[in-house]
Amino acid sequence: MKFDFETLPRAEAAKVARSLARVVGRAHARQLDRDARTRWGAELRRSRRKSLGAPSWLWNAVVQLVASHEAGYLEHCHGVSSAAVARGDERSGFVAGD
């Protein structure tokens, strides 16, 4: 799946952002012991922002996650197009030697 953030409606972009933040948060939580995870969760709930602002570490992690996702998507596309060229599949829009 490719995310096109420039054309996503605001509500959809917010859903994607929440989902990515959840992935990053869960990964971070797995690195903590039970007591630290409990304290961290309490701090997040206590300082939950009503604005779009996010802690810089969370924003940076989400940006890195999106960049990694985009790189994986592009690598997938490259593999699909390379296989199509190797098969001589004219429907791919790619021509051998491009």
Name which residue leads in pLDDT, 34 or 69.
Answer: 34
Read off the pLDDT of residues 64-95 as tens digits, 9 standing for 90 and up: 888 888 888 888 888 888 887 777 766 655 55
Q: At 50, is the secondary structure helix, strand, or coil?
A: coil
Of residues 40, 3, 32, 36, the one with CA closest to residue 19 = 3
pLDDT of 97 > 60? The answer is: no
Domain-by-domain residue ranges, the chain?
A: 10-92
From CA 18, how far away is CA 50, in angstroms rounded? 13
Reported as a pLDDT band with limits 50, 70 and 90, residue 3 is low
User: DSSP letter string over 5-20?
Assistant: TTTS-HHHHHHHHHHH
